[in-house]
């Protein structure tokens, strides 16, 4: 595709930073949405909580990629932080969708962040995009988060929900916390180790987001996960092999519940999510296997 003007929210986060770098390297113009007065012509002010977006700044954008949202693993899930997790996603998405819908010339696509948390705990049953939402706090948040984009869909803008798995990176997210533990020789399986983790290399995640922007046939939910989810035991073994460290420790489930609070449910829960729509639309993964994904994060 030729150079395009692309707006990005969450541009300072793990995925946003990598996406912006990739887009700029290919000659696209990137407009960043920032939660302060804009300082340069490539910044647009927005306030997700107040649902304000300086929509004029989105004029001429061919695509909007909305990645902003409070980190799920960053804090204990107090009632206040649960509200923060929900509001940052639902109110922010509604604001972006309404701004996109209000433009005279609309972008051709809105790629809106979502998460495989949508499916809840699937045990060892593999699920694709046809699966219904699970039960619990995160599935409920994901449903509301996706529904909040309705104004853009109703305005005829192709809207894609990037249901993200566990991103394998040293720089953030759940894996950012795992690397130092394993490097110190303190890594090990968590709970039974039989729970499935649906991971994706950061490189592939960025490539998949770009594929969603470029692939006009894709709309609705698309799982951004590697083709073969693996168990926590297999993750542990792969981390040990790549980092050349023993993985003798087992973190018992009760200890994780104390350390992580409600978030422990996601580490101990099992999500076996397959990227059917990505694969059917011709996307190819650079790092499909768990060991390759871990190695790619160390480059």
pLDDT tens-digit map of 145-195? 999 999 999 999 999 999 999 999 999 888 888 888 888 888 888 888 999
**Residue 245 — very low, low, confident or very high, per pLDDT cuts 50/70/90?**
very high
The count of residues in the chain is 299
Whether the full predicted model's pTM is greater than 0.85, yes or no, is yes
For residue 9, give Cα distances in angstroms to 123, 124, 138: 33, 34, 21
Q: Is the pLDDT of residue 266 over 90?
A: no
Q: What is the mean pLDDT of residues 259-272?
A: 74
Instruction: Pick the closest to residue 173 from 240, 257, 116 (CA basis).
Output: 116
Count of CB atoms situated within 10 Å of the CB of 55: 17
Mean pLDDT in residue range 37-60: 91
First to last CA, the chain: 28
Are 159 and 66 in contact, with CB atoms under 8 Å apart? no
Going from N- to C-terminal start, the domains of the chain cover 5-297
Of the candidate ranges 5-19, 81-95, 99-113, 192-206, the one whose mean pLDDT is the lowest: 81-95
pLDDT at 185: 87
DSSP annotation of 133 reads P
Average pLDDT, the chain: 92
* Class of CATH domain 5-297: alpha beta
The pLDDT tens digits for 119-141 are: 999 999 999 999 999 998 889 99
What is residue 172's predicted lDDT score, i.e. its pLDDT? Answer: 84
Tens of pLDDT, residue by residue over 50-95, are 889 999 999 999 999 999 886 666 667 788 888 888 988 999 999 9
């Amino acid at each position: 595709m030729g150079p395009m003007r692309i707006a990005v929210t969450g541009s300072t986060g793990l995925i946003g930073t990598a996406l912006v770098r990739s887009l700029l390297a290919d000659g696209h113009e990137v407009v960043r949405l920032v939660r302060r007065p804009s300082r340069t012509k490539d910044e647009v002010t927005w306030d997700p909580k107040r649902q304000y977006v300086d929509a004029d700044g989105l004029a001429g954008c061919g695509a909007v990629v909305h990645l902003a949202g409070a980190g799920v693993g960053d804090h204990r899930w107090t009632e206040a932080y649960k509200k923060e997790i929900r509001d940052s996603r639902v109110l922010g998405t509604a604001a972006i969708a309404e701004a996109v819908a209000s433009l005279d010339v609309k972008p051709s696509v809105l790629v809106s962040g979502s998460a495989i948390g949508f499916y809840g705990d699937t045990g060892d049953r593999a699920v694709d995009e046809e699966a219904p939402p699970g039960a619990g706090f995160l599935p409920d948040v994901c449903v509301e988060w996706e529904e909040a984009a309705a104004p853009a869909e109703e305005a005829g803008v192709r809207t894609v929900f990037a249901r993200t798995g566990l991103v394998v990176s040293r720089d953030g997210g759940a894996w950012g916390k795992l690397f130092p533990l394993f490097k110190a020789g303190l890594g090990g399986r968590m709970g039974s180790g039989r729970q499935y983790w649906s991971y994706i290399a950061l490189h592939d995640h960025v490539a998949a987001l770009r594929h969603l922007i470029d692939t006009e046939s894709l709309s609705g939910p698309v799982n951004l996960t590697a083709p073969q989810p693996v168990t926590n035991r297999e993750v542990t073994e792969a981390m040990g092999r790549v980092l050349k460290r023993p993985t003798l420790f087992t973190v018992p489930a009760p200890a994780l519940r104390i350390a992580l609070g409600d978030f422990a449910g996601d580490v101990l829960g099992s999500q076996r999510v397959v990227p059917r729509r990505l694969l059917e639309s011709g996307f190819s993964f650079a790092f499909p296997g768990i060991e390759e994904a871990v190695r790619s994060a160390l480059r």
